[in-house]
């Protein structure tokens, strides 16, 4: 196994997930603000499930998104 290739691949995947996730959340917040569904001061619970096929890996991450 090539540790450097593994680390680079993991970082590339996590960067894609992070950037895409942030963009999706920002769009959802903007849409909810524009429609008046939220005030912009809320805190939302958030969760992510990371699964890696072939490794029997399934890990949940819980957190929160604060607007105010």
- pLDDT tens, residue by residue, 35-48: 999 999 999 999 99
| Structure confidence at residue 20 (pLDDT) | 98
pLDDT tier at 1, thresholds 50, 70, 90: very high
- pLDDT tens, residue by residue, 8-36: 999 999 999 999 999 999 999 999 999 99
Give 3's Cβ-side CA count (13 Å radius): 0
**What six digits make up the tokens of 10?**
């993991």
Q: According to DSSP H, which parts of 1-68 are helical?
A: 3-35
pLDDT tier at 2, thresholds 50, 70, 90: very high
What pTM value is reported for the model?
A: 0.89
| Structure confidence at residue 45 (pLDDT) | 98
Cα–Cα separations (whole angstroms), residue 43 to 12, 29, 36: 29, 11, 16
């Amino acid at each position: 196994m090539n540790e450097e290739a593994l680390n680079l691949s993991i970082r590339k995947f996590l960067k894609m997930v992070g950037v895409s996730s942030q963009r999706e959340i920002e769009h959802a917040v903007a849409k909810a603000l524009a429609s008046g569904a939220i005030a912009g001061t809320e805190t939302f619970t958030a969760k992510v499930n990371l699964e890696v096929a072939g490794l029997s890996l399934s890990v949940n991450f819980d957190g929160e998104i604060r607007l105010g």
